[in-house]
Structure 1
Amino acid sequence: MIKRQSLAVLSVVAVAAGLAALVVESPVTAGQAERAVAWQPCPAYSDEVLRSRGVAEERIPEFRALLDRMDCGTVGVPLDYREPRGRQITIAITRLRAVDQAGRLGSIAVNPGGPGAGGYLTPIDFMMTNQESARLDDRYDLIGFDPRGTGYSTKVTCARGGPGGPPTPGPLTEAAARSTYDAEAAGNVACGKSDSDFLGQLTTTNVARDLERVRIALGERELSFLGVSWGTWLGAVYRSNFPGSVGRMFLDSVAAPEFSQDSFDDGRAAAVERRFTSRLAAWIASHHNTYGFGTSAEQVRAAVLGLVRSYDADPKQYTDLGMPVDGALVARLASQDSREWPRVSKALAELRDSTGTTAPPTVKEIVDAPPHMSPPGAPETLNPTMQLATVCNEDPARFDFATAWAEYQQRLARNPVTGRAIMFSAGCAGWPLPGREVQLRHTGGSLVLAGHRYEAGSPYEWTPRMRAAIGGTTFTVDDDVHGSVLREPGCATELVSYFTTGRIDQGCAGIPAAS
């Protein structure tokens, strides 16, 4: 089901680049770090919490059985690695021990993305995905962790400013954009100054250093790694800084090897438009008898573009919807991956044919989907403060309004069908802490880079660019679904085989598109 928040083109799991200039560090000795994990009882979760995490009622006992097997603890690390004896913080970790302890091959640290996403329960989440992904735990301990600034690890929270009230329907005006810019920039200033000592240390480089401390505390000679989305950037930074500490590494939906928020947004926006034109429009054309948009991708594209412009010129306020329908909603529908094609195509056809005062049924189903609410006691899934700080600490750009507005207008012009789904943002304007860069490097060792041929979250062209920067083997997934390797059994089999044997094929089919 498409949730309201999932209609946004640019997901919150934005991929960022590292803060500090690359310093290849020698492994920290046990005498310089915490000598052991401070193990403690794991949190207890209600059935309501588990259901909120997407655990089906009949699988709650399975989740609890895995939770009973899991170890929970913390590792102490310096807030600022330049001052190792200064302020200390804690990193919350979990360990799901290998089923076959006699044949155990080591530990795999897992990261689901971010920045700002917690990974405390990720070992269980991965185990619950399907039977093939569950085999990852056969001969490896799975290590989850909340990066600094998230979840059960040491964190701070600040509110980021933004314009009050819902946006005015129709195309964004320059005056409204300026209001957004001013509010966000002021919020960035206030947030960044609220605890600058802590916020300034929220960087991918420092998360990688924390991960090295976790390896030492666990007593592992090497630490293997499985990262998705931003986790691929974390993996690249970790192996660049600690090449002697890394075992096997698999990176799914690979980040670009260099970063600016602007180029990142440009790359993803272009991939969304390309995916609509080459994939969704062609699919709708092949189902002309059902949707009636035309028999060629070109006809479908022209029809949907006309729908975007029509609803922008004359937004509709249906009596049973709490928000108006304009071209932005049409663009968001056109931006979805292949799992949603039948539903969004039906919604587009309903909008084209709509004449009444009440919303078409599929449109209402999509727009009125209740937002996800975490019940009391649920682990934090995303820390917006950590996300903002990590992105802005790692991107030196601080656009003024004229530049930000011009970039937004150019993005709309380059992506006429799906561009209206793009939200205007001030980005890191006003962020008071400096942004610096990291350089990646080839380090040798076992590495697989999984790129998804048609996806928009991490466009496929980023995979060969990352390979040129850090090496490794390309593994091509023939789908358009971000981070789907563990979710498709055939691909999960390849991933588990890689961690077990060190060998892997050249790719897998991925999640099949709608028929």
Structure 2
Amino acid sequence: MLRRRRPTALAAAIGLGFTLAGSGIAAARTATPGPGSSPAAAAVAWQACPQYSDETLGFLGIRPDDQARFRELWARTECGTVSVPLDHRQPGGERISVALTRLKAKDRANRLGVLAMNPGGPGAGGYLMPITTIVDNQAAARLNDKYDLIGFDPRGVGYSTSHSCPGDPGGGAGEAGTGPLTRAEFAARYAGTAADNAACSASNARFLARLTTADAARDLDLVRKALREPVMNFVGVSWGTQLGAVYRSMFPARTGRMWLDSVVSPRAHDLAYRFGFTAGIVERNFGLFAQWLADRNSTYGLGGTAQEVAAEVLAMRRRADADPWRFTDIATPLDGLLVAFLASAVDLEYEQAAQVLHDLRTAVDGGPAPASVKQVAGGLGEGPPPPPEGAPEPFNATAQLAYLCNEDTSTRALEPLWDEYRDHLRDHPVTGAWTVQRPMCAGWTLPPQRFELGRGGSPVLSGHVNEYLTPYPWTGQMRERIGGTVFTVKDFAHGSVLYAPDCTSHLVAYFETGEPGGLSCEGLKPRSGKTGALAFGR
């Protein structure tokens, strides 16, 4: 099931890996010197692993039935840190630490090396990824037969040296009224974002400037060196594919087998391109949802053809912008943004989104919300629950902002962004209110440092036919830039290769033999009677 809580814009989700449901939990760790004095001294400082309560495991998404399995794997896990230069151009200067875990291969006699794992982001932690991947999908356990699985928190995240700006980095200046933004409202949000970002980027500029994909790739190579391994094998998802592509471009002779799932574009440094392309895919995919609804017109009553459904949903969005729903048990009026959110549903969410759309058409304004609406929007305005004491940081919003804005080469000026906003709503009339770009890097004072890619090697690049966070065409773009083999996943999901058993079998085969045993899999599919778990928030 997918749980989607609306970020302040799709901008926040664009960079995120499959940890979209993760909470942005602040951690006030600042860059501090670590042990060692040069890359030549790279070594792992092994230490006792943190221990987690049942409450913490639940917070991390580990179901009660899976907690014994988690603890069994965690008992086999080693934890440590590697000291790396804050600025790799000054290897003898200030140092920070990168936290890692190692789940040693079970078949030591036939061990094939180390396999580092990254879940995406940027800003997502991978410290627990070897364990959670196996717990969530037993088919992935075979990876641990012959590989030491390496989890790690990239610099800026989790147990690694990090820094968190106060407030909501990149979030803007609160909420405006209902419906599309006026020019004045847009300018106010732009000014609020710019002020917040200027303060954030100045709060620890020396550290934040070094949150780049290239720096993270150099850290990963020092992890390889500290583990005394000749090559680094790697599996990465979403932003993890960018990290993998940059690593193999910088260190081709030290790169072993590599699988990149839900591949970002080689133009990922251009956020205007990324947001615009993604928004186009969401609007296109609404056509698939509209046909699904048309085929079930007797149930949902939204139209007998895809065209009729599209017209009805668009009319609902416009009516809601002009006259939002107001329910006694939901604090905030619900305007066309909710309709756009529902229209952006993926196939695993169709049943739930369709029921909400159906119920909204007959909802009584000024009364209690229909049960389906309350389930999706009842928590509107609520923040994530506070983490239990001792919980690891699964996501760092400051790190995400820094990684994205430090590499963004698109415009940050008010007028071009206002033009993009209006063009976006015009070009994507049904879903555009949900996917519209916000000026997330406005005011960021640190200069762009564009990552570089080169050809060589042969990674497997898996793309998902109907997903929107990292659209399928980007897989081909990345292959053209760096080489490799395209593997097609026939689903709407983001990063599902490690979680859909039929796909995982190909990934395991590749890391065992160097061949995936085919070039496609079905991926995650909806099952009869099983809905998604949508959650709408502003």
TM-score range, shorter chain: over 0.9
* Match status 1:318 vs 2:331: no
* Match status 1:365 vs 2:372: no
Shift in Å, 1:10: 2.2
1:303 corresponds to: 312
Percent identity between the two aligned chains: 48
Secondary structure at the residue paired with 2:108? coil
1:411 corresponds to: 424
Shift in Å, 1:162: 4.9
Shift in Å, 1:6: 4.8
Partners of 1:200 and 1:389 within 8 A in 2? yes
1:136 corresponds to: 143
Deviations 1:430-467 (A, max 9, x none): 111110322211112x3100000011010111010000
Please give the alpha-carbon distance, in whole angstroms, between the structure 2 residues aligned to 1:98 and 1:287: 49
Shift in Å, 1:142: 0.6
Please give the alpha-carbon distance, in whole angstroms, between the structure 2 residues aligned to 1:484 and 1:4: 16
1:400-439 alignment runs, 5 A limit: 400-439=413-452
* Match status 1:508 vs 2:524: no
Secondary structure at the residue paired with 2:498? helix
Out of 191, 195, 198, the position equivalent to 1:186 is 195
Deviations 1:85-129 (A, max 9, x none): 000110000001112111111111000001111111011111112
Partners of 1:286 and 1:295 within 8 A in 2? yes
Secondary structure at the residue paired with 1:73? strand
Please give the alpha-carbon distance, in whole angstroms, between the structure 2 residues aligned to 1:392 and 1:163: 15
2:533 corresponds to: none
Please give the alpha-carbon distance, in whole angstroms, between the structure 1 residues aligned to 2:519 and 2:190: 45
1:24 corresponds to: none
Please give the alpha-carbon distance, in whole angstroms, between the structure 2 residues aligned to 1:409 and 1:260: 19
2:180 corresponds to: 171
1:20 corresponds to: none
* Match status 1:41 vs 2:53: no
Partners of 1:15 and 1:233 within 8 A in 2? no
Partners of 1:223 and 1:245 within 8 A in 2? yes
1:443-462 alignment runs, 5 A limit: 443-444=456-457, 446-462=458-474
Amino acid in structure 2 at the alignment position of 1:362: S
* Match status 1:92 vs 2:99: yes
Deviations 1:403-454 (A, max 9, x none): 111111111111111001135522212111110322211112x310000001
Question: Tell me, which stretches of 5 or more residues in structure 2 are unaligned?
Answer: 17-36, 529-538
**Cα RMSD (Å):** 1.8
Please give the alpha-carbon distance, in whole angstroms, between the structure 1 residues aligned to 2:174 and 2:192: 12
Out of 240, 246, 249, the position equivalent to 1:240 is 249
1:271 corresponds to: 281
2:393 corresponds to: 380
Please give the alpha-carbon distance, in whole angstroms, between the structure 2 residues aligned to 1:367 and 1:486: 30
* Match status 1:111 vs 2:141: no
1:19 corresponds to: none
2:33 corresponds to: none
Quickly say closer, same or farther: Cα 1:508–1:179, change in 2 above 3 A.
same
Shift in Å, 1:144: 0.5
2:299 corresponds to: 290
Please give the alpha-carbon distance, in whole angstroms, between the structure 2 residues aligned to 1:500 and 1:347: 46
1:21 corresponds to: none
1:127 corresponds to: 134
Amino acid in structure 2 at the alignment position of 1:10: L
Q: TM-score by structure 2 length?
A: 0.90
Partners of 2:271 and 2:409 within 8 A in 1? no
Please give the alpha-carbon distance, in whole angstroms, between the structure 2 residues aligned to 1:161 and 1:495: 36
Q: TM-score by structure 1 length?
A: 0.94
Amino acid in structure 1 at the alignment position of 2:475: T
Please give the alpha-carbon distance, in whole angstroms, between the structure 2 residues aligned to 1:12 and 1:382: 12
2:238 corresponds to: 229
* Match status 1:252 vs 2:264: no
Shift in Å, 1:376: 1.9
Shift in Å, 1:161: 6.6
| Displacement over 4 Å in runs of 4+ | 1-4, 6-9, 161-165
